[in-house]
Amino acid sequence: MPGTARRSTRAAAAAAAAALAASLAACGGGAGRSPAPSAPVPSASAPATTARAGLPAPAAEARRRAALWRAWGLAPLPPAPPPPAAPVPPRRTGAGPVPVVSRIPTRDRVVFLTIDDGTEKDPEFVRMLRELRVPVTMFLTDAAIRPDYGYFRRIQALGDTVQNHTLTHPYLPGLGAAAQRAEICGQQRRLTREYGAAPTLFRPPYGAYDAATLEAVRACGLRALVLWRESMQIRDMQYQDPGRRLHPGDIVLVHFRGPAELKHRTMTEMFAALLRRIGGQGFAVGRLDDYLPAPDGHAGATG
């Protein structure tokens, strides 16, 4: 009945959240299984530098870092190489209005982690990022983050940037120019308001885009469309390389997911598995914003 169609905001929001969850479940692909790793609670109160027992500060720092990683059941990754002093802006392909990027040209054994959507908001994951100091770039969808914008501010405060992943996570190709601009520019305004700086990078839901998407990305003030080479599932990545190996400069897709999407494993367990895979191949994690310069020289959305 039309007269009873207006349901409570809460019920509508719950229905929208359920629809979004179903939509986002298709965002990443298949899943694996593994026994749960141990992730005991580390001491978060260790000082930044310790020179006890006569150790020089760098050695003490390395020991402290190793202890923090060990407390999460991990061996430390190699230190990230210094980013390029003068990073080269990504090139546009053909006549496209903005570059499309899935890896960064570099010979260093470094990869870049991007985390999408924003459905799961596990406080332990913030602690993990703070303690391990692994840089990430967040591509956020408003429908997923609206219940708690503040969660992502805590990650942003670690130096990680917030980037654009549309308002409602639609499949963009064929949607039309005006609707795509509404999704992308609308999220650009929302993220700028909530996080204090305009995103510079865009990731299309499902990695799907058309010519109208690229034009909207440019019109909304973003400078590149970012895809990926590997996609983290539960215990391992899906690789585009049939050899199932990381390559220097690869961009890796991860999702903010929790036990409902990870077969009862947590976001931190999944992320620990990811770091083991990266470390096992001898790679470090770099900060994407250090390698993707803005045209005006500003680096990312935290400034």
**Residue 213 C-beta: closest distance to Zn ion, Å:** 14
Which of 1-9, 90-98, 184-192, 203-211 is the region at the interface with Zn ion (rule: CB under 5 A)?
Answer: 203-211
Among 90, 109, 116, 275, binds Zn ion (CB under 5 A): 116
Q: Do 300 and 200 meet the contact criterion of CB atoms below 8 Å apart? A: yes
Q: Which is nearer to Zn ion, 169 or 235 (CB)?
A: 169
* Tokens encoding 285: 């994690």
Rounded Cα distance between 191 and 197, Å, is 8
Contact call for residue 20 and Zn ion (CB under 5 A) = no
**Residue 154 C-beta: closest distance to Zn ion, Å:** 21
Contact call for residue 142 and Zn ion (CB under 5 A) = no
Q: Which is nearer to Zn ion, 109 or 165 (CB)?
A: 165
**Residue 204 C-beta: closest distance to Zn ion, Å:** 9
Contact call for residue 120 and Zn ion (CB under 5 A) = no
* Tokens encoding 301: 């959305």
**Residue 15 C-beta: closest distance to Zn ion, Å:** 19
Q: Which is nearer to Zn ion, 18 or 66 (CB)?
A: 18
**Residue 27 C-beta: closest distance to Zn ion, Å:** 4
Contact call for residue 117 and Zn ion (CB under 5 A) = yes
Contact call for residue 115 and Zn ion (CB under 5 A) = no
CB environment 83-120: b (16+ within 10 A), e (fewer): beeebeebeeeeeeebbbbbbbebebbbbbbbbbbbbb
Q: Which is nearer to Zn ion, 117 or 160 (CB)?
A: 117
Q: Which is nearer to Zn ion, 116 or 289 (CB)?
A: 116
Among 20, 23, 27, 83, binds Zn ion (CB under 5 A): 27
**Residue 129 C-beta: closest distance to Zn ion, Å:** 19
Contact call for residue 253 and Zn ion (CB under 5 A) = no
Which of 144-152, 185-193, 200-208, 238-246 is the region at the interface with Zn ion (rule: CB under 5 A)?
Answer: 200-208
**Which residues in this chain contact Zn ion in the complex, by CB under 5 A?**
27, 116-117, 205
